[in-house]
Amino acid sequence: MPIPTENVGSLPRPAKLQAAIAAYDAGEITHDQLIAEQDQACSDSIHRMEGTGSPMVTDGEQRASSFATYPLTDTLAGTGLADNLAGDGQYFAIFDDGHHRQLPRLTGGPFRYKTYAADYLEKAIPLASVPMKQAVIAPSMLMLLYPLDEEVPGYSREEFLSDLVDECEKDIRKCFEAGAVRVSIDFTEGRLANKNDPNNPWTGRGMLQQFIDLNNRVLDRFSPEERRNIGIHTCPGGDMDSVHSKEVDYAELLPSMFQMNAGYFLIQLASEDDKEHVYQLIGEHSRDDANGVPQVCFVGVIDPLNPEVETPERVRDALLTAAKYIPTERLGATDDCGFSPFSIDEKPKHGSPDFARDIAFQKISARVEGVRLASEELGV
């Protein structure tokens, strides 16, 4: 079987859609008008991703406010925020270029999603002619909705976590029921958990093991057969062409990350300075048997933050080097991150979100072709 390959999930929203979201926040257009723009962007995303030859596609998350907040709010500005939430929560991340992204704050219980990823997928699947995957958010990200130190009146942290685990399980199950062939869980907070950024208190609380344990509470509800198709994505962030935790050595994350009983991992790597160090860590710490499933390691071969398009030969060579450290039957290829995890993203290094979309499809094409070349070379 050739080396498997898939994208993480998101694509930049067209400038026209980003303008429509702002107009919707300002009360200038109706919800139906916003949906019409999203419909168009999803359809365009699916068809152009199919045009890259990718064996599996997504809708580019064109309906989601972000990879982390889609269950909670219709827009990043907070229009349509779910019950029991306020807008002024913790910083999820402070990025290297100085901008930040903030989560809502839980004000009471019970905690429930207002939107499931499958709500988007159900609209997307009829438009696609190849299988679809879906990305969902990790419970470890949403646990940051609960205030770091205070107790929410009448709703204990343990009650919240129990509701959260139920909702995350439901989010994944609904994706499979809607027809997803794979579901990947976005876990960008994993690497950030070792950053110790004094401006972002949760990153100095040593929360990584709590994150891993919480995510396993969800994963352990699935059978080995189901977990073969449930993945985990790790990265140092990817928003406005900037990152939040690239200085954290993967040696501080990967041994813990592979404790999660997922069947595959989508690992940022193309933008790492010392790739062989990371391939080696992956080879050492990924498991043949994670409670009944082998852990397939999809290494990042495309950098979505850099407008320069990788060549298929560069992709091939990266995979051939990775294959020296990672068993070929557990090797895959992916992009370092979604191309725009947040709905409002100017893609400053690209000059515009529309140009960044064009580049994204060229990059996905290069990955698909590079994977074909590497598979041929490796005889798989």
Q: Which is nearer to Zn ion, 245 or 375 (CB)?
A: 245
Closest contact distance (angstroms) between CB of 279 and Zn ion is 19
Q: Which is nearer to Zn ion, 233 or 316 (CB)?
A: 233
Residue 299 in contact with Zn ion, rule: CB under 5 A: no
Contact range with Zn ion by CB under 5 A, out of 173-181, 206-214, 304-312, 331-339: 331-339
Closest contact distance (angstroms) between CB of 138 and Zn ion is 11
Spatial separation of the C-alpha atoms in residues 123 and 87, rounded to whole Å: 28
Q: Which is nearer to Zn ion, 143 or 235 (CB)?
A: 235
Spatial separation of the C-alpha atoms in residues 313 and 320, rounded to whole Å: 10
Residue type (1 letter), 345: D
| Cβ atoms within 10 Å, residue 324 | 10
Residue 337 in contact with Zn ion, rule: CB under 5 A: yes
Distances (CA, A) of 218 to 163, 165, 357: 11, 6, 33
Q: Which is nearer to Zn ion, 218 or 337 (CB)?
A: 337
Residues in the chain: 380
Largest CA distance in the chain: 60
Spatial separation of the C-alpha atoms in residues 66 and 322, rounded to whole Å: 31
Contact range with Zn ion by CB under 5 A, out of 160-168, 212-220, 236-244, 273-281: 236-244
Determine the size of the site formed for Zn ion (CB under 5 A): 4
Closest contact distance (angstroms) between CB of 238 and Zn ion is 5
Spatial separation of the C-alpha atoms in residues 234 and 8, rounded to whole Å: 10
Spatial separation of the C-alpha atoms in residues 166 and 162, rounded to whole Å: 6
Site string for Zn ion, 177-196 (x = CB under 5 A): -----------x--------
What backbone phi and psi angles, to 5 degrees, belong to 273?
Answer: -75, -45
Of residues 11, 106, 230, 235, which one binds Zn ion by CB under 5 A? 235
Q: Which is nearer to Zn ion, 65 or 188 (CB)?
A: 188
Q: Which is nearer to Zn ion, 25 or 171 (CB)?
A: 171
CB 25 within 8 A of CB 86: no
Q: Which is nearer to Zn ion, 152 or 231 (CB)?
A: 231
Beta carbons within 8 Å of 371's beta carbon, 6+ residues apart? 2, 3, 5, 315, 316, 319, 333
Residue 124 in contact with Zn ion, rule: CB under 5 A: no
Contact range with Zn ion by CB under 5 A, out of 26-34, 146-154, 159-167, 235-243: 235-243
Binding residues (CB under 5 A) for Zn ion: these are 188, 235, 238, 337
